[in-house]
Amino acid sequence: MKLFFKIIGGLFLLFLVASAVMAAMNWQMVMQIVRYNPLVIPAMYGEPADLQEANEQDLKFARKLLKYDRSFSDEAETKFLTQLDALNEQAATLSKAELYLGVARAVAHADNGHTNLSTYPLYSEFNHANVKFFWFADGLYIVRAHNMYADLVGARVTGIGNKTPEEIVGSLSQYLGGAANFRRLYATFHLESPQMMHAAGLAASPDALQLTVIDRTGQERDVALAAVSRDASLDVPGRRPFVTLQAIPMDGEGDDWTRTLNLTGSDAPLYLRNSDENFFWTKLDNSGVYIRPQLLLNRDDAVLVEQFEEVLGAFSDGELGYMVVDLRWSPGGDYTQVIDFVKSAPEKLSADGRLYIVTGPQTFSAAIVMTAFLKYYGGEKSVIIGEQNGDREQFWAERGPLPFELPNSGFSINYSTGYHDWANGCADRHEYCFTQNIIHEVPAGSLAPDVMIAPTFADYASGGDLIMNYILSAQAPPDQESD
């Protein structure tokens, strides 16, 4: 028996030693998980007796966000808690839409793009008006609609209720944190829902959306769009605003919807070609290559690192006259997956080659980091072109594996634990500089476009791409340059 306990004790000691060795070997990763990837402890309240108690439980749990999120300043924390207190006083009468907006407004005080109430309920739960909007350089347009409103596709929205679209977005921006262009982009989800607009005090009824539009014939008219309930049985995939521009049907549309563009294959501009694929690349005339990653993660059994390796492997060092990395539709992912690519890509360019980095308001999170990497490692060859990306150079990101979910409404709050500064770097400058940044960060400076190009609706509707037109013209031999 003593021998048995000695063996057990020895094995236990061996386990402890092995664990200590493994922890030491992976200490950096262990510390990263402990410091930046916390486990959210879910709410454990009893079944609520009524609406008031359900709302009170959600608001009580929402206060715990400050245990996990680090992006709030002291002033923002006070505003966050004050807003929740005010909501709690209305708990007996708050509708779900009012609760959503109230919590969203409280969280938005962090003014951080990664710290927001999830927009998922806006397009999966609350009603909609059978149209989808998108902002262009010349205003807000309806880019797709149910067939009953087919004549509204391509219409410019000049009024919503008794306000202009710009005034409406100004009001809706209080429910989102982050850069102004990011908030404007995501506010289109609120615009789709009469229920949400009514809860925000921006629509007279939760059952209809009143618009003033100038249609494609040039006629100005007032239209009332009846609200339609969401089908609760549908498993709605996550959606980002840029999907609205796709030239193919969106999930759930089928043949019931009319869209601005109906283009497939080579008829579609590169930025919309094969838009249902996470990674797309093709060779271009005059020794060029076009690369369009979307989510910077492995998807559908495809390994992102290997996809980038395939592109680079197709060219010898110094072979390319130009490379286009289109990040317009990239919401982020894991930036460590692109590090080998961003360091090697400039080597494929000739001495006078150009590395074009295409950005826009949807360029976010790890895609902003990728922009910084490409600018830094590309040096004088790098040209950022398009629109301003969707966040500042300094932001908070990172989170744990579990969502911060309110127990009764199911609303999920995105929280942030790690600091980033891709203009100057944050290693040795900030207490919560994210672990991976300490290893990989670069002082890229401003990530504002060197060449600002923002398309109008007519540019989009033409099926062309102003940005690629500019690039291809710049890279064409003198005798081929367009006027």
Instruction: Please report the sign of the dihedral spanned by the C-alpha atoms of residue 398, residue 400, residue 404, residue 405.
Output: positive
Is residue 460 domain-resident? yes
Is residue 197 domain-resident? yes
Question: Is residue 365 within 8 Å of residue 431, measured between CB atoms?
Answer: no
pLDDT for residue 337 is more than 60: yes
Question: Is residue 100 within 8 Å of residue 168, measured between CB atoms?
Answer: no
394-397 and 382-386 strand pairing: unpaired
What digits encode the pLDDT tens for the residues 229-261? 998 778 888 999 999 999 999 988 989 999 999
Domain match, 361 and 305 both: yes
Domain match, 305 and 254 both: no
Q: The domain spanning residue 249 has which CATH number?
A: 2.30.42.10
Domain match, 454 and 317 both: yes
Token pair of 78, please? 């006070």
Query: In the chain, how long is the greatest CA-to-CA distance?
Result: 94
Domain match, 172 and 84 both: no
Residue 97 belongs to what domain range? Answer: 51-108
pLDDT for residue 481 is more than 70: no
Is residue 412 domain-resident? no
Residue 354 to residues 73, 289, 313, Cα–Cα distance (Å): 41, 11, 18
Domain match, 208 and 347 both: no
What digits encode the pLDDT tens for the residues 53-87? 999 999 999 999 999 999 999 999 999 999 999 99
Mean pLDDT of 168-189: 98
Single out the residue in 244, 259, 274 at which a domain terminates: 259
Residue type, 249: P
Residue 389 to residues 24, 243, 381, 386, Cα–Cα distance (Å): 39, 17, 20, 9
Q: The domain spanning residue 369 has which CATH number?
A: 3.90.226.10
Domain match, 124 and 240 both: yes
Give me the phi and psi of 479, to 5 degrees please.
-80, -5
Nearest-Å Rg of the Cα atoms of the chain is 25
Indicate the number of domains in the chain.
Answer: 3
Is residue 303 domain-resident? yes
Q: What pLDDT score does 457 carry?
A: 99
What digits encode the pLDDT tens for the residues 356-381? 999 999 999 999 999 999 999 999 99
Is residue 127 domain-resident? yes
Domain match, 129 and 255 both: yes
Domain match, 359 and 282 both: yes
Q: Among 6-10, 176-180, 407-411, where is mean pLDDT lowest?
A: 6-10
User: What count of other Cβ atoms lies within 10 Å of the Cβ of residue 480?
Assistant: 11
What digits encode the pLDDT tens for the residues 273-315? 999 999 999 999 999 999 999 999 999 899 999 999 999 999 9
Average pLDDT, the chain: 94
Single out the residue in 223, 238, 259 at which a domain terminates: 259
The residue ranking higher by pLDDT, 477 or 368, is 368
pLDDT for residue 17 is more than 50: no
Is residue 16 domain-resident? no
Token pair of 440, please? 């990989």
Domain match, 96 and 128 both: no
Three-class SS of the chain = CHHHHHHHHHHHHHHHHHHHHHHHHCHHHHHHHHHHCCCCCCCCCCCCCCHHHHHHHHHHHHHHHHHCCCCCCHHHHHHHHHHHHHHHHCCCCCCHHHHHHHHHHHHHCCCCCCCCECCHHHHHCCCECCEEEEEECCEEEEEEEEHHHHHHCCCEEEEECCECHHHHHHHHHHHCCCCHHHHHHHHHHHHCCHHHHHHCCCCCCCCEEEEEEECCCCCEEEEEEECECCCCCCCCCCCCHHHHHCCCCCCCCCCCEEECCCCCHHHCCCCCCCCCCCEEEEEECCCEEEEEECEECCECCECHHHHHHHHHHCCCCCCEEEEEEECCCCCEECHHHHHHHHHHHHHHEEEEEEEEEEECCCCCCHHHHHHHHHHHHHHHHEEEEECCCCCCCEEEECCCCCCEECCCCCCEECCCCEEEECCCCCCCCCCCECHHHHHHCCCCCCCCCCEECCCCHHHHHCCCCHHHHHHHHHHCCHHHCCC
Q: What pLDDT score does 27 carry?
A: 54
Q: What pLDDT score does 355 carry?
A: 99
Residue 142 to residues 150, 356, 475, Cα–Cα distance (Å): 10, 30, 34
Q: Who contacts 438 (Cβ-Cβ below 8 Å, separation ≥6)?
A: 427
Is residue 45 domain-resident? no
Q: What pLDDT score does 21 carry?
A: 46
Domain match, 165 and 295 both: no
Domain match, 374 and 244 both: no
Is residue 321 domain-resident? yes
What digits encode the pLDDT tens for the residues 420-476? 999 999 999 999 999 999 999 999 999 999 999 999 999 999 999 999 999 999 999
Domain match, 175 and 194 both: yes
The whole-angstrom separation of Cα 131 and Cα 209 is 10
